[in-house]
Amino acid sequence: MAEVVLRKVEKSYSNGFRAVHGIDLTIAEGEFMVFVGPSGCAKSTTLRMIAGLEEVSGGDIFIGNQRVNALPPKDRGIAMVFQNYALYPHMSAYDNMAFGLKQQKLAGDEIDRRIREAAETLELSQLLDNKPGEMSGGQRQRVALGRAMVRKPDVFLFDEPLSNLDAKLRVSTRVNIARLHKTLKAEGQNATMIYVTHDQVEAMTLGDRICVLNQGRIMQVDTPINLYQRPANKFVAGFIGSPAMNLVTATLERTETGHELVLGHGERLRLPEAKASQVAHLAGRQLWFGLRPEHITLADASGATPNQPNLVNAPITAVESMGNESYLHFSMGEASFVARVPYHSHAGLPGGERKTLCFDLAHCHLFDIDTEQSLLREE
């Protein structure tokens, strides 16, 4: 039961490489915080500094109000679950879970009680006598989770714990981790969880909040839905969401009737007044225009009328069908776009055909051309 606070935390490796550039972050007691970001952005480095496996080069880390910079990992009240479960191959699942507790000199019946409880939560009760070699990847990963659980840590640290599992096991183990967080909470053990992943679905479904990192800096910390709907900058806009948000430069022009975005190929898109009023001072300037694939629809399929604004005629360059929906790739000059449409709306549509697409700018995002920060205030 502990809040985790990072204050101006920095990391320089011995070769001089600065991996972390001053991170400020407060993770509430009992919160499920997810770190996401591209490979090399310092997710693991940050987690390992919290764990005490990596020294902090600057700033402070607090766990439950205690400054832990100089505290060894075993005294931090944390348990860590790694990508490679690191189980002892010659020990049964039971003994793997018991190992750390025996070292702590816990009474035998207390050890037994904790293991049976964890095994029940993780649906491992039938497998306690099996050795790692006699279990599936998902079962082994659950034993690794159990081994962390039985220690009853204040803080759980996960570093891509599911990345070795196949798609189906990832889903069930993910659900297990979410359930574990809720179960512990219900039992009054308000465990804080910090979870590193580069999998968006894991981030969106597990996190109370998500911390998006890029090159050792925090880009945004917010709830999954806020990150998706109100990205604070172009990086987060492009990183969260799949297929990714369409992002192109455009020039903002003032017209007699309002404001328009002029795209690279001369296409004009009318900006709704609610957005235009926030960026009117930038008329004549360039900015970044972002629109999620689901906010571009096929005009003929949506029953659009000819006088509907923001219709664009463009050649479809590729169609990807997911079964339930399809991604239409189309180009406008140099820029390529993706629209995400219901499957039926383009049945039989061959690549290369020109289509009329409707851009719903009520949902668009606008970012400063230089700072790449959002130009729209939060609504």
Ligand X SMILES: Nc1ncnc2c1ncn2[C@@H]1O[C@H](COP(=O)(O)OP(=O)(O)OP(=O)(O)O)[C@@H](O)[C@H]1O
Closer to ligand X by CB, 209 or 292: give it.
209
Closer to ligand X by CB, 19 or 291: give it.
19
Closer to Mg ion by CB, 161 or 290: give it.
161
Closest CA to 276 of 295, 263, 257: 257
Q: Which does 40 bind (CB under 5 to 8 A by kind): ligand X, Mg ion, none?
A: ligand X
Number of residues that make up the chain: 379
Residue 11 beta carbon to Mg ion: minimum distance, rounded to whole angstroms: 13
Residue 164 beta carbon to ligand X: minimum distance, rounded to whole angstroms: 13
Q: Which does 41 bind (CB under 5 to 8 A by kind): Mg ion, ligand X, none?
A: ligand X
| CB atoms inside a 10 Å sphere around CB 43 | 24
Closer to Mg ion by CB, 44 or 246: give it.
44
Q: Write the single-letter amino acid at 218.
A: I
Q: Compute the distance between CA of residue 301 and CA of residue 303 in angstroms, rounded to an integer.
A: 5
Q: Which does 297 bind (CB under 5 to 8 A by kind): Mg ion, ligand X, none?
A: none
Residue 47 beta carbon to Mg ion: minimum distance, rounded to whole angstroms: 8
Closer to ligand X by CB, 25 or 115: give it.
25
Closer to ligand X by CB, 19 or 68: give it.
19
Residue 20 beta carbon to ligand X: minimum distance, rounded to whole angstroms: 8
310 binds Mg ion (CB under 5 A): no
Q: Which does 13 bind (CB under 5 to 8 A by kind): ligand X, Mg ion, none?
A: ligand X
Q: Which does 324 bind (CB under 5 to 8 A by kind): Mg ion, ligand X, none?
A: none
Sign of the dihedral through C-alpha 213, 214, 217, 223: negative
Q: Which residues bind ligand X (CB under 6 A)?
A: 13, 15, 17, 19, 37, 39-45, 198
Residues from 29 through 68 that contact Mg ion (CB under 5 A):
44
Residue 283 beta carbon to Mg ion: minimum distance, rounded to whole angstroms: 44
214 binds Mg ion (CB under 5 A): no
Closer to ligand X by CB, 221 or 332: give it.
221
Closer to Mg ion by CB, 195 or 359: give it.
195
By Cβ distance, which residue is nearest to Mg ion? 44
197 binds Mg ion (CB under 5 A): no
Residue 27 beta carbon to ligand X: minimum distance, rounded to whole angstroms: 17
Residues from 319 through 358 that contact Mg ion (CB under 5 A):
none
Q: Which does 96 bind (CB under 5 to 8 A by kind): Mg ion, ligand X, none?
A: none
Closer to ligand X by CB, 42 or 61: give it.
42
SS (H, E, C) the chain: CCCEEEEEEEEECCCCCEEEEEEEEEECCCCEEEEECCCCCCHHHHHHHHHCCCCCCEEEEEECCEECCCCCHHHCCEEEECCCCCCCCCCCHHHHHHHHHHHCCCCHHHHHHHHHHHHHHCCCHHHCCCCHHHCCHHHHHHHHHHHHHCCCCCEEEEECCCCCCCHHHHHHHHHHHHHHHHHHHHCCCCCEEEEECCCHHHHHHHCCEEEEEECCEEEEEECHHHHHHCCCEHHHHHHCCCCCCEEEEEEEEECCCCEEEEECCCCEEEECHHHHHHHHHHCCCEEEEEECHHHEEECCCCCCCCCCCCEEEEEEEEEEECCCEEEEEEEECCEEEEEEEEHHHHCCCCCCCEEEEEECHHHCEEEECCCCEECCCCC
Residue 344 beta carbon to ligand X: minimum distance, rounded to whole angstroms: 38
Residue 40 beta carbon to ligand X: minimum distance, rounded to whole angstroms: 4
Query: What are the residues binding Mg ion (CB under 5 A)?
Result: 44
